[in-house]
Amino acid sequence: VKTKEHKSKLSYQPVEHHEAKWAHFCDFQEITHIVVKDCNISIHRQDNKYLDLTLSSHEAALSLISLVDGYFRLTADSSHYLCHEVAPPQLVMSIQNGIHGPMQEEFILAKLKREGQEDGLYALRWSVLDFNRLILLVLKNGQSISIQGNANYRQFRIQRKENSFVLEGWEQEFPSVQELMNALKGCTLKSGTDIFSLKRCCLPKPGEISDLLITRKVKDSTRQILNLTQLSFHQIRKNEITQRAHLGQGTRTNIYDGVLHVCSGMNSDDEAEYFSTEQNNNSREMHVVLKMLDPSHRDIALAFFETASLMSQVSHIHLAFVHGVCVWGSENIMVEEFIEHGPLDVFLRNNKGRITVGWKFTIATQLASALSYLEDKNLVHGNVCAKNILLARKGLEDGLLPFIKLSDPGVSFTVLSQEERVDRIPWIAPECIKDVNNLSTAADKWSFGTTLLEICFDADVPLKERTPSEKERFYEKKHHLPEPSFKELATLISQCLNYAPGERPSFRTILRDLTQLQPHNPLDISSVNPAFPVSDPTVFQKRYLKKIRDLGEGHFGKVSLYCYDPANDGTGEMVAVKSLKSGCSQQLLTNWKKEIEILKTLYHENIVKYKGCCSEQGEKIVQLIMEYVPLGSLRDYLPKHNVSLAHILLFAQQICEGMAYLHSLHYIHRDLAARNVLLENENVVKIGDFGLAKAIPEGHEYYRVCEDGDSPVFWYAVECLKECKFYYASDVWSFGVTLYELLTRCDSSQSPPQRFIEMIGMTQGQMTVLRLIELLDRGERLSSPKDCPCEIYRLMKNCWESEASFRPAFTNLVPILKAFHEKYKTQAPSVFSVC
């Protein structure tokens, strides 16, 4: 989704008509819902930001929404609509009756195969040839699906007439699909000598891949998945935390008030060992919550770490931030941000009668937003309830809205005993009581429905007086929880509390319907709140930036993790802030501003996202605000994790895709290295640090650098060292060095500087560059990394051709690396042909 920015120009001469510039707002996959009122529309995205547009008329507004909604269904989710006002009637009917779109036969068969192939499994879909025909496909006897010999399934036609539906071969007419299917469930269907019966319907799933979608990027689906096979979280020393008052108990944990001593200026772990936080003038304290695993449950420490790892790798404005984990002897402590006003259930009980309906809807929408974010990443929280929702801002004062953060789920759901699971009724989904392996995103939807009841009833917990056996029986009998008097809201809650997991709505649907149901709020939420004075979302004020910790340093600047909190109440978002080192030259300051201008123009999933700037002293000092990428750089990540060759090649492919995009805009990076490639999750990397990036003028092949400065010479191509000329192909050389780093798993003893110095000998200053040029002119290159397949090393050496024009372009490298990734994904290391 893009918006156009128009610039006017005052002049006494005739004004030239400049084409309006497009500004990115989001991709279609990031849209959650759209709200329309008269000629005004609001397009809401996953992080709770929204784009307000005013059109010439209500009809024009509906037309634009229809366009966006259509593209959303074409590229993101074919069975979802973004706004009730433009919902296609046939799609609404399909959703109500569990009907798939006009999928080809092979796609629907593949879906049934994934569902389990049991006897009586069936699916309804629209015909690809006849708009008024439905196809009912039914499986028999749980046999393996085979398209060639199709005795194990049959397809039956259902014809839609003016006001009825008829199964071919059965003359009886039914006014709706639902009534026809209900009638068929009590019958058997005959096809020749074969008999079929309907037992379980295979329903459409949110965002599932089928021939109804245009897949623009093959790996879009992998980006949604965060594979937590490797633990990843920030490690905190015991002397960095102070334990204070005991706050209560969680599941197998004790919770304490605490303080985290944050030291800025510590450049290494060794240095931190010698200075206590009291001795460091730059130290400060942060109020935190300490969740300590009970020593008697040390056997589930791994499950405890899995939770910490999950919460450390996600970043959403309505999810509590986990600072890290402290392991000290027998103590395992999760350090989480302190949320001032505590659990929502306590607040609801203490303020009964003071809370408006609008306040409750706001809370529910914020919670649904966080869960929609997790669902899109295929992540399960597993313990959604009012006591795990923390209130960062009360929102009872005029002009302010409440603000919540969903806390961590506690110990992993998989280690809970049967008794502990039953104790969580009615929040735990029924399918998870007997089998923890049934935990899925659908379980969070059940928990959300129960939590919504808690919010409606001021934390009066359903079934609180029931015994464990009564609770279990309540589920076994499929009884229903009490509903609020507001009929439409009760309908939404009942959809979440459906005993069939597949029939629960997606959180996108929940968000859309909650917005539709929300009554008129006495607060004018469409106007700018005085508590948030910044109207431009890309302008950040320094006073609201709260430093968490340093993330890393480059040649000219350093990057730190901050919380941007304009309300000063803990509701801010985590951002990465890059600032120049002190004492920089005017040339560096100029380049710094150019870096910001370059980042503003970039929008690619493999390039770190620009969020805005923070300036002071009349813009003499400018800080760059970027998205926070939780897992850090590949240089820091790879030595600590066992990453396969296939995964390394996936990362390399994504780097090339990001660089190909950069080159398509006529930019060169000039500092491509593992330290500047960040890991969003275990499947997606992003290129960062554009401090040395330059724009190649149109019609030119290279950019000549004139300024002096500290340069990453061991990553530079020979023409860069000799003539200060930077071609697009110079970035390809740097990619070859980066690929070398990745294949050595960023082992510091094998680093490019270390290897080159071993070859040229210890030198200083310009002599290092001269000897490096001599070495490269002789045709010497970095040697093949250990266990590197020959064909990959040959590709690496192609990137290091002396003649720039002989090197491959990034657009050519992408399919090559993709093929390598597919090849080595299925091969064992023992069969690699290494150099």
248: left (phi over 0), alpha (psi -120 to 50) or beta: left
**C-alpha distance across the termini of the chain, in Å:** 48
Whether 684 contacts 604, CB under 8 Å: no
What type of residue sits at position 90?
Q
User: 635 to each of 232, 236, 595, 745, how far by Cα in Å?
Assistant: 15, 20, 22, 8
User: 692 to each of 576, 595, 746, how far by Cα in Å?
Assistant: 19, 7, 22
The catalytic position among 458, 671, 689, 731 is 671
Whether 1 contacts 43, CB under 8 Å: yes
Backbone angles phi, psi at 511, to 5 degrees: -60, -45
- As to burial, measured by CB atoms within 10 angstroms (0-12 exposed, 13-18 middle, 19+ buried), residue 34 is buried
* Measured distance CA(802)–CA(553) in Å, rounded: 31
- β-pairing, 677-681 vs 684-687, is antiparallel
**Per-residue exposure over 426-447, b if at least 16 CB sit within 10 Å of its own CB, e if not:** bbbbbbbbeeeeebbbbbbbbb
User: 677 to each of 230, 550, 747, 754, how far by Cα in Å?
Assistant: 19, 17, 16, 20
- As to burial, measured by CB atoms within 10 angstroms (0-12 exposed, 13-18 middle, 19+ buried), residue 271 is exposed
* Measured distance CA(695)–CA(591) in Å, rounded: 11
Q: Please give the sequence-ordered ranges of beta strands (E in DSSP) within 620-693, or none if there are none.
A: 621-627, 667-668, 677-681, 684-687
What type of residue sits at position 749?
S
Q: Is 671 a catalytic residue?
A: yes
Q: Which residue, 622, 603, 626, is CA-closest to 614?
A: 622
3 state SS of 501:
helix
Q: Quick one: three-class SS letters along 465-476?
A: CCCHHHHHHHHH
**Per-residue exposure over 197-229, b if at least 16 CB sit within 10 Å of its own CB, e if not:** ebebbbbbbbbbebebbeeeeebbeebbebeee
* Measured distance CA(571)–CA(402) in Å, rounded: 10
Handedness of CA 675, 677, 680, 682 (dihedral sign): negative
* Measured distance CA(42)–CA(27) in Å, rounded: 15
Q: Is 140 annotated as a binding residue?
A: no
Q: Give the DSSP H/E element, type plus range, for residue 8.
A: none
Give 749-818 as a DSSP string.
Answer: GG-HHHHHHHHH-S--THHHHHHHHHHHHTT--PPPPTT-BHHHHHHHHHHT-SSGGGSPPHHHHHHHHH
Angle at 669 between CA 667 and CA 673, to 5 degrees: 160
Whether 74 contacts 213, CB under 8 Å: yes
Mark the binding-site residues for ATP, compressed into ranges.
578
Mark the binding-site residues, compressed into ranges.
578
Q: Which residues are catalytic?
A: 671
